Structure formats: structure tokens, C-alpha cells
């Protein structure tokens, strides 16, 4: 009996240990960022960190390979990493990958920074849109701002703040072995499995000990929303989409029933507003652009001798310049995009308005009203009614005075499909 009780107790003990082990199995969330840093990337990392927090993950690993990207997006990513309740590990991988420019600051912000063999980090000197250098006082202002932020983050994480400053000011870049030696990163790992093995038991400031024994890996994929946002979230692309959208809707309103321009315009406008949710938009710029559209529409209704079109073009230019209020050049419209777009769109609006205005004031050429003023010939004497041949057709007609056959007449009015005519001269056509 005692042996039986001891056997039951042993089974319960091992069952309890096994159950506890399953309950405490840690989860490692993994996301891959192998692209330029953009608002779409920032949104993806933000949502991934939020998911990891909600699921109580032990750690989240960002596998990073980037040439850099938008400074504003980088700042948002750094803020999300620093405020994350779940430990964040940035792993520059696989071999051959790099963490350049904005990638440097993202790596510095991680709780644990790691690199794979054959990778590099650095070259964080800021550049403007299109990779061009920023000149003058603006360059110094942007560099000093980035240096201050980077040094603050590096000091908070206990990393080499002097090297980060050199990476920004002098575009210094180093390999993974040099980065480990210079206290830029915390460890070197062959792959993700090796990284998890090295992280196991590591003590993190304010976040405790990482228990990653038999950890379960969960890979978070980009959603369709993120993929679309990454494609269109460049300020220049968002602006072009908005202009296409407004032009399409304008054409549809001025020529009802065209359908295709309205459909394309609606889709483009929705995509533009979707992209702008992650961009620093100045709503005064949007209002000025909408005001420009109103001026162009009014040009079709009011004889302003071009003044409303000029006002529309001025509003369009001012609104475009004010549309994005980012503090760095990469979050503002490029003049190489702005000027051609404004010229093309303004020309389009003015051309459509001119066509509509001409159509309104021109003499009708079709239907019954198109017959007024036409010259015809009497085919059956008008006494006072008869038949006349006008515009290639035989019409019933009447005149105030009798007219013989073959007399030339002019159409004065059309009433209930009966032409009222008058004699052009007293001559007779033989």
C-alpha cells in the first residue's frame, strides 16, 4: 500500500514539474527588417512590439539589414524600442547585412545589440532627399540634433557615445569585431539560434533575467497593410497620389459619366490619405490645396478672365510647400517633384475649365437648338406651313408669310419639332 502511494506521489510530482515547465516556456518574437527605414517600417516595428507586449513575450528580436532611411521614422522606432516593456534585441544579420545611417541609431537603442559575422555598422551622416548633401546652417543644425539624440541613447544603454558621434559627423563605419571591441554592440552571433543561446541567462537593466531555455520562436510577418504603407509612404509619392486623386475627381465632376477618371481618382486619394496618417502633415497645406480646387471649379461657372485660375495656382503652390512639416529634408517635398507636378496639374485644371467654359458659351451644334440659324430650302410651299430641307433633313416648317418652293430660308426657332423660318432673300434656287 505504501509503495502504491509513493508511486502515485512520484507521478504527481513529475506531472507537476512537466506542467510547470510547459507553463513557463518562453516565447521569442522575431521580425525581419530588410529595407530602407520608412513610415511603413516604423509602423511594422511599433505594431510588432505592441503584439509582443500583449502576448507577454520574453524578448523580441529585430533582424536588421538596412541602408538607412527617413530620420523621422527612425526617431519613432527608437522611441518605441526605448519605451518597450519587452526586451528588444537588434540583430544585424545575416552575414553581409549592414546597419547604416538610421540603422545605427536603431541598433544603439536596443536592450541588446548584436551582429552576425561579415556585417558592418556606421556611416550615419545625414543626407537630404535623393541622397544629396545638406548645405549651410541647416546641415549643422540637423547633425547637431542627431548627435545629441544618438549620444543620449548610447549613454542610456551604456554604449560608446564617442563612436556614435564620429559615425554621424564623419560617416565612420566598422565591422562586427571592431564594433564589439569598441563597445558599440554587446555580442556576435552566427545566427538567430546562436543569438538566443547567448541571450539565455543574460541580465538586463530594469528587465530582469532572460530565461530562454527551450524558447519557442514566433516569426511576425508584415501584413498587407504594412506592405502597401511601405510602398506609398514616401512624402513625394503620397503627394503625387493626392494630386492624381484630385485631378481624377475634378475631371469626373466637370464631365459626369466618364467614370474611369473618377474611379482612379478616388483610389489614388484614399491611398494618399492612408499614407499621410504616418507622415507629419500640415492641415493648412491640405486646406490650401482644396481651396485651389474650389477656385478651378469656380472658373468654370464664373467669368473671371483667368483670375480664379491664377488664384488656384497660387493656392496650389503654397499648399504644396506647406503640406509636410517634417524637421528634416527627407520628410519634405522635393522641388524636383513639386514643380513639375504643380505645373502639370495646374495646366490640366485650367485646360478642363477652359473646355467647359467654351462649351457653355458656344452655339449648340446638335439637337433642335443646333438648327437655329441654319440655311435651308423650301421643298413644299409654306402657306403658311410646308416642308423645308435643312441640314440634310426634311422638316415641317411654317413662315409668317407665304413662301414658294426653292426659296432659301433661315431657321429662326424650333417649336415642338416645327421650324419657324424666314426668307433669306427673294431669290429662287433653280
Mean pLDDT of the chain: 83
The confidence score (pLDDT) of residue 210 equals 92
The edge-to-edge listing of strands for the beta sheet with 27-33 is 187-188, 112-115, 88-92, 59-64, 27-33, 216-219
- Better pLDDT: 411 or 2: 411
Q: What is the mean pLDDT of residues 383-401?
A: 87
Q: What is the mean pLDDT of residues 52-56?
A: 93
The least confident of 76-80, 356-360, 407-411 is 356-360
The vertex-238 CA angle with 234 and 243, nearest 5°, equals: 150
Is the C-alpha dihedral spanning 14, 17, 21, 23 positive or negative? positive
Domains of the chain with bracketed CATH: 25-223 (3.90.226.10), 234-361 (no CATH), 368-428 (2.40.50.140)
Using the predicted structure, report yes or no on whether residue 310 has a pLDDT greater than 70: yes
- Give SS3 for 208: strand
Using the predicted structure, report yes or no on whether residue 272 has a pLDDT greater than 60: yes
Q: What is the mean pLDDT of residues 322-338?
A: 73
The confidence score (pLDDT) of residue 363 equals 56
The pLDDT > 90 percentage for the chain reads 38
pLDDT digits (tens, 9 = 90+) for 7-53: 555 555 444 444 444 445 689 999 999 988 888 899 999 999 999 99
Active site residues: 101, 141
pLDDT digits (tens, 9 = 90+) for 356-386: 666 555 555 555 566 787 888 988 888 888 9
Q: What is the mean pLDDT of residues 151-177?
A: 93
Using the predicted structure, report yes or no on whether residue 428 has a pLDDT greater than 60: no
- Give SS3 for 324: strand
- Is-contact 315 295, C-beta < 8 A? yes
- Is-contact 163 99, C-beta < 8 A? no
Q: What is the mean pLDDT of residues 222-227?
A: 85
Using the predicted structure, report yes or no on whether residue 118 has a pLDDT greater than 90: yes
Cβ count within 10 A of residue 396: 13
Cβ count within 10 A of residue 163: 22
Using the predicted structure, report yes or no on whether residue 217 has a pLDDT greater than 90: yes
Q: Give the confidence band of 183 by pLDDT, cuts at 50, 70, 90.
A: very high
- Better pLDDT: 72 or 45: 45
3-state secondary structure 243-257: HHHHHHHHHHHHCCC
- Going along 95-245, which residue ranges are E strands? 98-100, 112-115, 120-122, 173-175, 187-188, 203-204, 208-209, 216-219
Q: What is the mean pLDDT of residues 297-306?
A: 74
Using the predicted structure, report yes or no on whether residue 290 has a pLDDT greater than 70: yes
3-state secondary structure 162-177: HHHHHHHHCCCEEEHH
- Better pLDDT: 357 or 264: 264
Q: What is the mean pLDDT of residues 95-111?
A: 94
Alpha-carbon gap, residue 405 to 423, rounded angstroms:
11
Using the predicted structure, report yes or no on whether residue 184 has a pLDDT greater than 90: yes
Q: Give the confidence band of 429 by pLDDT, cuts at 50, 70, 90.
A: very low
Query: Among 408, 405, 412, which Cα is nearest to 423's?
Result: 408
The confidence score (pLDDT) of residue 128 equals 57
- Better pLDDT: 293 or 134: 293
The confidence score (pLDDT) of residue 364 equals 53
The confidence score (pLDDT) of residue 92 equals 97
- Give SS3 for 382: strand
Q: What is the mean pLDDT of residues 206-216?
A: 89
Amino acid at each position: 500500500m505504501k509503495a502504491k502511494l509513493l508511486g502515485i506521489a512520484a507521478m504527481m510530482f513529475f506531472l507537476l514539474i512537466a506542467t510547470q515547465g510547459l507553463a513557463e516556456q518562453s516565447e521569442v518574437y522575431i521580425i525581419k527588417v530588410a529595407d530602407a527605414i520608412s513610415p511603413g517600417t516604423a509602423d511594422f516595428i511599433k505594431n510588432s512590439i505592441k503584439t509582443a507586449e500583449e502576448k507577454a513575450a520574453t524578448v523580441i528580436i529585430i533582424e536588421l539589414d538596412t541602408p538607412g532611411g527617413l530620420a523621422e521614422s527612425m526617431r519613432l522606432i527608437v522611441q518605441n524600442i526605448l519605451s518597450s516593456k519587452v526586451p528588444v534585441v537588434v540583430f544585424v544579420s545575416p552575414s553581409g547585412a549592414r546597419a547604416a545611417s538610421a540603422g545605427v541609431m536603431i541598433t544603439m537603442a536596443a536592450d541588446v545589440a548584436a551582429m552576425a559575422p561579415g556585417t558592418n555598422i556606421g556611416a550615419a551622416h545625414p543626407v537630404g532627399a535623393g541622397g544629396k548633401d545638406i548645405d549651410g546652417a541647416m546641415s549643422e543644425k540637423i547633425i547637431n540634433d542627431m548627435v545629441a539624440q544618438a549620444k543620449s541613447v548610447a549613454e542610456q544603454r551604456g554604449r560608446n557615445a564617442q563612436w556614435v558621434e564620429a559615425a554621424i559627423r564623419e560617416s565612420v563605419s566598422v565591422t562586427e569585431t571592431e564594433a564589439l571591441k569598441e563597445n558599440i554592440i554587446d555580442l556576435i552571433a552566427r545566427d538567430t539560434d546562436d543569438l538566443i543561446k547567448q541571450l539565455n541567462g543574460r541580465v538586463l537593466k530594469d528587465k530582469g533575467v532572460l530565461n530562454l531555455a527551450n524558447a519557442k520562436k514566433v516569426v511576425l510577418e508584415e501584413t498587407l497593410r504594412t506592405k502597401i504603407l511601405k510602398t506609398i509612404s514616401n512624402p513625394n509619392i503620397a503627394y503625387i497620389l493626392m494630386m492624381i486623386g484630385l485631378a481624377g475627381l475634378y475631371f469626373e465632376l466637370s464631365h459626369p459619366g466618364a467614370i474611369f477618371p473618377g474611379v482612379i481618382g478616388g483610389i489614388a486619394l484614399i491611398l494618399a490619405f492612408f499614407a499621410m496618417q504616418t507622415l507629419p502633415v500640415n492641415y493648412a497645406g491640405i486646406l490650401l490645396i482644396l481651396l485651389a480646387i474650389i477656385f478651378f471649379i469656380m472658373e468654370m461657372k464664373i467669368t473671371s478672365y483667368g483670375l480664379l485660375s491664377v488664384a488656384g495656382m497660387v493656392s496650389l503652390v503654397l499648399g504644396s510647400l506647406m503640406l509636410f512639416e517634417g524637421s528634416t529634408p527627407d520628410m519634405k517635398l522635393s522641388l524636383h517633384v513639386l514643380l513639375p507636378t504643380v505645373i502639370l496639374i495646374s495646366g490640366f485644371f485650367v485646360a478642363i475649365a477652359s473646355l467647359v467654359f467654351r462649351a457653355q458659351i458656344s452655339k449648340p451644334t446638335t439637337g433642335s437648338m443646333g438648327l437655329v440659324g441654319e440655311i435651308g430650302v423650301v421643298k413644299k410651299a409654306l402657306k403658311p406651313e410646308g416642308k423645308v430641307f435643312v441640314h440634310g433633313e426634311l422638316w415641317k416648317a411654317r413662315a409668317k408669310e407665304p413662301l414658294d418652293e426653292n426659296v432659301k430660308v433661315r431657321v429662326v426657332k424650333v417649336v415642338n419639332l416645327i421650324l419657324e423660318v424666314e426668307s433669306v432673300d427673294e431669290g429662287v434656287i433653280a
